[in-house]
Amino acid sequence: MDPFDSGIPRPELHIERDGAAGGVTRLAVAGEVDMTTGEQFERTLIGTLDEPGVTRLLLDMAPLRFIDSNGVAVLVKARRTADEHGIAFGLVNARGVVRSVLEMLGVYEMLAAERGR
Amino acid sequence: MAEAPPEHRPMASDGDSPLERKFDRASLAALRSELSRYAAGHGLTDLALANFVLAVNEIATNAVRYAGGQGQVRVWRQGRELWCRVVDEGHGIPRRYLEQSHRPDPLHVSGHGLWLARHICADVEIETGRATGTRVLMRYPLPSAARSTDGSL
C-alpha cells in the first residue's frame, strides 16, 4: 500500500520486463490503465519500441486488471509505431475484461500476437 | 480498505441505498472500486460487473478530461436494472460525439468512451448543453432480468 494513501485506492501500473533474448522483448503489464496511468503506459511502450535491437515486442496482459478505451488507443498507437519500425508487436494472455474491451472496440485481432504474422 | 468517512457514505432512501460520490482525476480508481462493490452487491458478477464499471468509468473519465475535471455519480437500483447518473458542469458534449452511431475508427486515439458506454449499457440518455453541463443516465440490466445479463454483446 502506498504510504501516502489514506485508504483510497489509486490506480497503479507496473510494467516489468520479463526478458530480451534474441531481440524479443517481453513486458508483463500489471495493474490498471486509465486516464491517470495512460501516459506512463504510452511512454513505456513507445520507449521500448525506440530502443535499438528490439525486433519483437510481446505484451503479457495476464496481470492487467483494467484498461479503458484510452489505454486501448495507446495499444493501437504502439502497434502502428512498431509497424513503422519493422518490429513485430503483439499481445498475449488478454483475457476477461481486458480481452472484452479489445473485442468491443474491434482491435483484438489486430493486436493479438501470432495472428497470421 | 478503510471505511469511507461518514459524510461519504451512501444516504439512506426508500428500499436500497443509492451510491453517491463526487469524483475527480485522483479518485477515479476509488470510484471504480466503489462501483464494483456496489454493483456486486446487486448481483452483478464477472464480465457483466466489469463492463458496468468500465462504462461508468468512461463517462466519468470524459467529465474529468473534458468537463472541468470533476463530476458526481449516483447509482441506484430501479426494478431489475442498475441506473447510473453522471453529472458534470462542463461545456457540453460536441454534437459529433452525440451522433456517433457507428464504432469509431480504432486508429483514432480518442472519442470511444461514449460509444463504448452505449455499446455496454441497455440505454444511455444524455442531456447536454454549453451552459448546462452534461447529465448522462445509464441503465444496466441486473442478472435477475430475463434477458442476457451480459450487457456487452
Contact list, B65 vs chain A (CB under 8 Å): 35
Helix axes B28-41, B46-66, angle to 10 degrees: 150
Determine, yes or no, domain membership for A57.
Answer: yes
* B58/A72 CB distance under 8 A: no
**Mean pLDDT of chain A, nearest integer:** 88
Distance from the B21 Cα atom to the nearest Cα atom in chain A, whole angstroms? 13
In a domain, A105, yes or no: yes
Count helices and strands in chain B by DSSP H and E runs: 4, 5
- Mutation target vs B (from A2, A42, A104, A108; most B CBs, 10 A cutoff): A104
pTM of the model: 0.84
A5 inside domain: no
The answer as to whether A14 is a domain residue is no
Is the predicted ipTM greater than 0.90, yes or no?
A: no
Which of the listed CATH numbers 3.30.420.10, 3.30.565.10, 3.40.630.10, 3.30.450.20 matches domain B16-141?
Answer: 3.30.565.10
pLDDT in tens, B24-74: 999 999 999 999 999 999 999 999 999 999 999 999 999 999 888 999 999
Cβ contact, residue pair B2, A68, below 8 Å: no
pLDDT at position B16 = 75
Of A95-109, B2-16, B50-64, B103-117, the range with the lowest mean pLDDT is: B2-16
Taking residues A16-20, report their average pLDDT.
81
Q: How confident is the model at residue B108 (pLDDT cuts 50, 70, 90)?
A: low
Per-residue pLDDT tens digits for A78-89: 999 999 999 999
Least confident of A37-41, B21-25, B38-42, B145-149: B145-149
What mean pLDDT value characterizes chain B? 84
Nearest to A35 among B28, B30, B46 (CB): B28
Q: What is the pLDDT of residue B98?
A: 79
Q: Buried b vs exposed e over B67-85: b needs ≥16 C-beta within 10 Å?
A: beebbbbebbbeeebbbbb
Give the span between the Cα atoms of A103 and A86, in whole angstroms: 25
- Which tens digits make up the pLDDT trace of B2-20? 555 544 444 444 447 999 9
What mean pLDDT is predicted for residues A82-110? Answer: 95
Q: Write out the residue range of the structural domain in which residue A76 sits.
A: 24-111
Write the CATH number for A100: 3.30.750.24
Report how many domains make up chain A.
1
Burial of residue A5 (number of CB atoms within 10 Å: 0-12, 13-18, 19+): exposed
Domain boundaries, chain B: 16-141
Rounded-to-integer distance, Cα B142 and Cα A76, Å: 32
